[in-house]
Amino acid sequence: MANDFSADHRVKALYGFENNLDDGKGGNHLTDHNTVGFTSTDKKEGSHAADFEKDNAEWGSRPDGQLDVGFPLKNEDVTKKIAVCFWIKPESNISPGYLVAKYDTNGRRSLAIVRDYAWLKLYCGYNNGDSAETIDTGYQINNGEWYHVGVSLDGVNRTAYIRVFRASNSAVTEYFKTFANPLHVEDADFTIGARHDGNAAYCQDGLLDEVVVFNELLTSKEIDAIRSGAYSYPMTEVRVETVGAQVAYTDQDALVRVDAAGFMAAYGLFAEIGEVQVNAGGLMVAYGVAPPPRRVFPVPHPKVSWQTHFGKRKFPVVG
């Protein structure tokens, strides 16, 4: 299977590292510094993975002014939402090694995803880019192993969600953090494998594969789907449960839940008209294109009948 990002307008860059540093989604192709290597024998997606050699100071960059419109943390971005997913297999410990960043230590700090020795951390710029707050996940990414990392950060509301999958044992670890200062945004270069100045002491050493950059937050389901190679947009889920006594709709995570006392509820999902229909025990609940955030209906009562008038919505009447 392979991820399909073609219909997702939130994806602003996709680096598959198919023997190059090109953006497979937009125009954010990276400049190759010191000839990044590629391998076809040890990869997680597509035909190749990028092999960054620290001793040769290999990395990729794109100036802020050349980033596509809507690219997250581009200068003057007021939304300040970004999500990044990638595969990583490090080869040595660096303090710190910059993985994906928009971060200039000369007063233009925004965000850096780093591996400090083995520890996964985020550096979040504030104070007009002169200072940075460190988010330490407490998670170790070991040398010689593949991991999938998903980072979802809201720089206005100061929240970060990090989800890590360890391929060797399929263990998933997640980390939530509310940080102290709103994220600073400025015009540092977007970089992979190093920070803005390309200082060789802080370059990544090891493999990276399928780096995907979103200008919106991701859910755990979306991160897991990307890691599994099963992602497509939009993602929907219908879940049927046989406990409780209500039929409910929620749009918090594109999830529809159906609860029914003692029987299985039937459902239909029609994406082309944005409608959900639930039929259970003679009760029909229908939502139109723009449903309210949450509506709850009781399970039919023996003394409840459904009254209707032509051209109007149905409503219950207790007889």
Other beta carbons less than 10 A from residue 140's beta carbon: 14
User: How confident is the model at residue 253, as a pLDDT?
Assistant: 42
Indicate if the pLDDT at residue 195 is higher than 70: yes
User: How confident is the model at residue 72, as a pLDDT?
Assistant: 98
User: Across residues 105-126, what is the average pLDDT?
Assistant: 97
The two three-digit tokens of residue 165, written as one number: 């999958």
Q: Report the chain's mean pLDDT, rounded to a whole number.
A: 84
| β-bridge pairing 171-178 and 94-104 | unpaired
Q: How confident is the model at residue 120 (pLDDT cuts 50, 70, 90)?
A: very high
DSSP 314: -
User: Across residues 182-200, what is the average pLDDT?
Assistant: 97
User: CA 18 to CA 135: how far, in whole Å?
Assistant: 32
User: How confident is the model at residue 310, as a pLDDT?
Assistant: 58
User: How confident is the model at residue 264, as a pLDDT?
Assistant: 38
Q: Is 165 exposed, middle or buried (0-12, 13-18, 19+ CB in 10 A)?
A: buried
Reported as a single tens digit per residue, the pLDDT across 222-263 is: 999 999 999 999 987 544 444 444 444 444 444 444 444 444
Q: How confident is the model at residue 317 (pLDDT cuts 50, 70, 90)?
A: low
Indicate if the pLDDT at residue 68 is higher than 60: yes
Indicate if the pLDDT at residue 128 is higher than 50: yes
- Greater pLDDT, 2 or 254: 2
User: CA 260 to CA 279: how far, in whole Å?
Assistant: 11
User: Across residues 198-213, what is the average pLDDT?
Assistant: 97
| β-bridge pairing 304-307 and 94-104 | unpaired
Q: How confident is the model at residue 280 (pLDDT cuts 50, 70, 90)?
A: very low
Q: Which of 229, 248, 238 minimizes the C-alpha distance to 299?
A: 248
DSSP 103: E
- Greater pLDDT, 270 or 148: 148
Q: Is 141 exposed, middle or buried (0-12, 13-18, 19+ CB in 10 A)?
A: buried
pTM for this model (two decimals):
0.76
User: CA 154 to CA 178: how far, in whole Å?
Assistant: 10
Domain ranges of the chain: 11-228, 237-318
Quickly list DSSP for 213-269: EESS---HHHHHHHHHT---SS--EEEEE-SSSEEEEE-SSSEEEEE-SSSPPEEEE
User: How confident is the model at residue 237, as a pLDDT?
Assistant: 59
Q: How confident is the model at residue 304 (pLDDT cuts 50, 70, 90)?
A: low
Who's near 143: CB < 8 A, 6+ residues apart? 90, 91, 92, 93, 118, 206
The two three-digit tokens of residue 287, written as one number: 């939502």
CATH code, residues 11-228: 2.60.120.200
Q: What is residue 167's three-state secondary structure?
A: coil
Can the peptide bond before residue 292 be classed as cis, meaning omega within 30 degrees of 0? no
